[in-house]
Structure 1
């Protein structure tokens, strides 16, 4: 059984430039797939296409089947039923996903009200529980705060809570730790790993860093210039990469790990 099945996905701009070229990948229930590549490789556009969120002026062709729904060509009404229920996304910078003029608790309450039909005291308790589940201290204070009144790490946890609120089958994480400090990155990765295991969720995790992907996923696909160049288990890609581009990513990840080890040494 396949939860996400992408076949021949191509994303083009209005002037005909191809940004994602004939991409295919699958994610099964409970499976964790990493998508690795440098900036401009097309990995983030792929995640946006999965939820029908491509920027205006870009079009997708091919097939994206998510939990039995064909995403390519679907109406906005149909896509609305898929988002949150079948798949939800956590972006790199939570400030782009959170409304700066709305308190955190109200933003988190929206998907709970729409999807789970909660109201009153039940809704308030569900908001507090969602914040507690992502290990946020003082959930009542966080719920009353505006996004700019909490730290970047706390905002990312709020974004994760919103993504998980409706218990989607697939969590899409698009560089969710890149904007965070190193120590906060490690905490966030561990939290994502724990929560998706507890919920037996599938994960599509996007990053430019193989070391980060290795902490959360079991299998990975490498993208370069909009195309898939190599795929395998994370162990295979690290120990025996076939493509020169993958070898460069492995070398870069090892150098980063070494630098971080030196930084943390007494």
Structure 2
């Protein structure tokens, strides 16, 4: 799967995850799921369903004022309760994330090449020309034209679609076992979204990576995942193979999502053979 040893059992094992605010409100309620090596799991639900908070809890990145309980094991490391210093080593190596808006992940005052180079240097020890070549390769891998120009650019000097590709290059640079994609195409126009999904599918397939794909768009989830977990009000309401869930949903909420999803049939037709 990656350059790293794979643990026995699921790559990601979430058991009884509950996220509370300091004043006691429950935002994610007793959530359990697994992601095996090479598997693609979709988390779907409307805004406020708790899906993005779930991904933050998986990475140990919950904002101040929120606390996670339960168990989250990533590549054999317990995330909940683990000191930040150790979690820093896990992020990028065992799991990496691409957010909806790349500007939240990119430093506006740092050139693109340096933003990719820094985690690469920490993880691989590369320096000088070898590091510069690795940065160029990372940009070429995500199909960015003129990689040298992109490497010299600041975030505001390139398009939104290019920024998202840079963010993807950063996430994949250290060959993580799990890629977390949190609404990675929502901010893009339709044509750029389709290109990004195709690119993501190709890169993940080549590296045999696991994916936790978060979206409110059932058609997108149906296109890129193997299995889906539907969330509502912080709880799981349905889980199963994506084709089963979208063709024969059991929960009323899932049925409503399927009914309201446009382009679902074309999304299923576009799925590559597994």
TM-score above 0.5: yes
d(CA) in 2 for partners of 1:11 and 1:22? 9
Residue 89 of structure 1 corresponds to 97
> For 2:78, which of 62, 70, 79 is the aligned residue?
70
Q: Counterpart of 1:128 in 2: which secondary structure?
A: helix
Equivalenced residues, count: 258
1:98-135 deviation per Cα after TM superposition (whole angstroms, max 9, x unaligned): 00000000101011000011100000000000000000
Q: Counterpart of 1:81 in 2: which secondary structure?
A: helix
Residue 19 of structure 1 corresponds to 27
Q: Counterpart of 2:211 in 1: which secondary structure?
A: strand
> For 1:235, which of 217, 236, 243 is the aligned residue?
243
Residue 8 of structure 1 corresponds to 16
> For 2:88, which of 80, 83, 94 is the aligned residue?
80
Gaps of 5+ in 1: 259-266
Residue 143 of structure 1 corresponds to 151
Q: Does 1:181 align with 2:201?
A: no
d(CA) in 2 for partners of 1:49 and 1:132? 32
Q: Does 1:109 align with 2:133?
A: no
1:143-162 deviation per Cα after TM superposition (whole angstroms, max 9, x unaligned): 00000000000000000000
Alignment of structure 1 residues 184-203 onto 2, 5 Å: 184-203=192-211
> For 1:49, which of 44, 57, 66 is the aligned residue?
57
1:61-88 deviation per Cα after TM superposition (whole angstroms, max 9, x unaligned): 0000000000000000110110000000
Kindly state the Cα deviation for residue 254 of structure 1 after the two structures are TM-superposed. Answer: 2.7
Superposed CA RMSD in Å reads 1.0
TM-score normalised by L of structure 1: 0.95
Residue 261 of structure 1 corresponds to none
d(CA) in 2 for partners of 1:255 and 1:91? 24
Kindly state the Cα deviation for residue 255 of structure 1 after the two structures are TM-superposed. Answer: 6.0
> For 1:250, which of 229, 247, 258 is the aligned residue?
258
d(CA) in 1 for partners of 2:202 and 2:259? 28
Q: Counterpart of 2:92 in 1: which secondary structure?
A: coil
Residue 232 of structure 2 corresponds to 224
Q: Counterpart of 1:254 in 2: which secondary structure?
A: coil
d(CA) in 2 for partners of 1:122 and 1:105? 13
Residue 5 of structure 2 corresponds to none
Residue 212 of structure 1 corresponds to 220
> For 1:169, which of 170, 174, 177 is the aligned residue?
177
TM-score normalised by L of structure 2: 0.93
d(CA) in 2 for partners of 1:159 and 1:133? 12
